[in-house]
Amino acid sequence: MFATPGVGTRKRVVLLFGIVSLVLVSLTVRLAYIQFIWGEELRKKALETRMRDIPVAAKRGTIFDRKGRELAVSVSVESVYAFPAQIKNPEDTAKTLSSILGMKYDDVHSRLTRNSSFQWIKRKIDPEQAKKIRAARLSGIGLTQESKRFYPKGSLAAHVLGISGIDNQGLEGIEVAYDGDLRGVPGRIIIETDARGKELPQALHSYVPPVEGNSLILTLDEVVQFIAERELERAMVKTQARAGNVLVLDPKSGEILAMAARPTFDPNRYDEYPDSNRRNSVISDTFPPGSTFKPVTAAAALEEGVTSVNDRYYCGGSIKVPGHTISCWVSEGHGSQNFIEVIQNSCNVGFVNMGLRLGPQRFFSYLEAFGFTSVTGIDLPGEATGIMMRPEEMKPVDLAVMSFGQTLTVTPIQLACAIAAIANDGLLIKPHLVKEVRGPDGGIVHAFQPVVARRAISPKTAQELRYALEQVVEKGTGRQARVEGYRIAGKTGTAQKVIGGRIVEGKYISSFVGFGPANDPRVVALITIDEPVGEYYGGVIAAPVFGAMIADILRYLEVPPEPKDKRTFSPSGASTGGGGAQSQGGGRAQPAGGAAGDGAVVVPDVLGMTIREADGTLKGAGLKMEITGSGFARSQDPPAGTYAPRGSSVRVRFAP
């Protein structure tokens, strides 16, 4: 007979059955969860485990100048990669690769033995190295096509173009500003492998082709850029300066024709230069503009009606403002002069008068109107903006010195754009460097049109300023910027450097900003020379650079020269002469004072000339010269336009 199971046994059986049932239910739920919830994710992971991607970089778009000349291109090169799991002998493979590639053995061996499915060995190698690697037939080692950036013109326009990195990405300049357009879409090669990373027989292969990037058509002109850089480089060598800038633009469209800074670098070998060489100081650095800022004060004073072109100013060498005496740069003063002559002579006293008449609020409103309180919006990274006081912070002495370009700072591009507004009938245009974005097929993706930021001054005020700035070049401190056959307008500047908020004695920035032709401006150009050795006045250092540059640029742009007898441009209501010479009929000055007689000649105007220029001019008129001082002619006796006996002497005082 068999014993009947007790209650305890039955309970244990029921418990065991319950546990088994719970485990089975849990496994079923888990299986269902894996199948229906994780299924797709696990499938992707399995696929990723057995599929190996070899990246194929897209070809970066070409950068052209405005006439289709290549400034930056991408060339095809090969890169070496490894599938570590497929390498049979890492030691021998590392030895071979290190010998071919010129790499350290330990570095190569480390890459070959890493626990990864894919590893770069060396990117963008030369063709001879690729040929040797291909011939070595190393297991687990392959070559893939990539593109390498190349700048065929070397350092030309380096600060505009910028640089790109190993992964086909823009890092600086236009390369990074338009990286989204230039980069394109990378492709890939997909290879099926086993769990150990070895390629399977009859493996699945697929190729996803890269999409080439868009190309850019810049506003730069390669020839204008070359001319600008050539003259800047000559100035740097001649003056032994620390740094320098040059900027050339079209005042009507805002298109940048040339932009360069010194020191410079070659973007093909940028790692061989100090990082500071890559700084684009045209847009990123500020400086005290000095007298190149004076046209802005003059424009504001004319526009607000606190002066006119026929107003007269007296300069005795200094002017007093509450608690301070401000000196003119000519210690003896300029005497009585009209508005045009104040600009022509760059008279600090005259500009202090204009600034004080305007007052802080109106003065500041024109800083805003001319774009000095904000960035210009140029399509480059790293643009800075100037530093200047708010109206409520300005004391009379602050306003006085700001009116002739001290105690405020601007960027070179801000200053050039402000002067371009005067050249462009008062309209401030946003500067830009890209004309068009084009697709790989050459079709236009986007075309950029000129953008008017605002009207800074009226056309009438702009016309009067253009005439005044022409006199600076014809008779004043900018005589060395003159170009035979062309009417040039501009303004010199000489400013003491400010470092750490303090004026540094003996360190100067020489500058010149101007445009031509004066009556129908085609180009505006700015030159700055930072810390020239020896002579430092803008009229001596920067003006000749401008003159040499603008002469070649106007000829290259096929701007026809204008005969002197057809130059009738003058501001409405403006007197074209000072002292005894008054404008009559067609703008030709008639002699005043003295008397004509046998052997008498008209005394020519030599103000602003060097000693040699003044001596030659007087000799040409049949006169002699008595010299006092050195530098540029500041006064003459008898005055220009009067009669003097042939062979008599003209006393000329020269000053720096």
Instruction: Determine the pLDDT at residue 411.
Output: 96
Q: What is the pLDDT of residues 93-115, one digit of tens each?
A: 888 888 888 888 888 888 888 87
CA distance 312 to 353: 11
Inside any domain, residue 178: no
**What pLDDT score was predicted for residue 597?**
43
Domain that residue 85 falls in: 52-156+184-218
Please provide the DSSP assignment of 398-451 as one string. HHHHHTTT-S-BB-HHHHHHHHHHHHTTTEEE--BSEEEEE-TTS-EEEE----
- For the stretch 348-360, pLDDT in tens is 999 999 999 999 9
In this structure, the answer to whether residues 327 and 408 fall within a common structural domain is yes
Residue at 174 is within a domain: no
Q: Are residues 599 and 560 in the same domain?
A: no
Q: Residue 199: beta bridge partners?
A: 193
| Pair (25, 78) in one structural domain | no
Same domain, 138 and 28: no
Query: pLDDT at position 582, please?
Result: 29
Quick check: is 578 in a domain? no
Residue 591 pLDDT greater than 50, yes or no: no
What's the whole-number mean pLDDT along residues 206-219? 88
| pLDDT, tens only, 312-329 | 999 999 999 988 999 998
Kindly list the catalytic residues: 291
pLDDT for residue 31 is more than 80 = no
Beta bridge partners of 509: 495, 530
Q: Per this entry, what is the length of the chain?
A: 656
The last residue of a domain, from among 203, 218, 233: 218
Beta bridge partner(s), residue 63: 72, 216
Do 458 and 597 belong to one domain?
no
> Does one domain contain both 522 and 616?
no
Residue 577 lies in a domain: no
Distance of CA 272 to the CA centre of its chain: 22
User: Is residue 586 scored above 50 in pLDDT?
Assistant: no
DSSP 261-305: EES---GGGGGGS-GGGG--HHHH--B--GGGGHHHHHHHHHHTT
Q: Is residue 206 domain-shared with residue 308, that is, in the same domain?
A: no
According to the model, what pLDDT value does residue 598 have? Answer: 45
Max CA distance (Å), the chain: 169
Two tokens, residue 285: 């650095």
Q: Indicate if 241 and 208 belong to the same structural domain.
A: no
The residue-averaged pLDDT of 371-384 equals 96
SS3 per residue for 20-85: HHHHHHHHHHHHHHHHHHCHHHHHHHHHHHHEEEEEECCCCCCEECCCCCEEEEEEEEEEEEECHH
Query: Tell me, what CATH number does 208's domain have?
Result: 3.90.1310.10
Asked if the model's pLDDT at residue 116 lies above 60, the reply is yes
Q: Which of 202, 218, 234 is the last residue of a domain?
A: 218
Domain identity same for 191 and 294: no
The model scores a pTM over 0.85 = no
pLDDT of residue 594: 38
For residue 631, the domain's CATH number is: 3.30.10.20
Asked if 457 and 464 touch (Cβ cutoff 8 Å), the reply is: no
Q: In this structure, is residue 175 part of a structural domain?
A: no
- Domain co-membership, 38 together with 112: no
Q: What percentage of the chain has pLDDT greater than the value 70?
A: 87
Is 448 in the same domain as 562?
Answer: yes
Same-domain status, 299 and 446: yes
| Overall domain count for the chain | 4
Report the CATH number that the domain containing residue 293 is assigned in CATH: 3.40.710.10
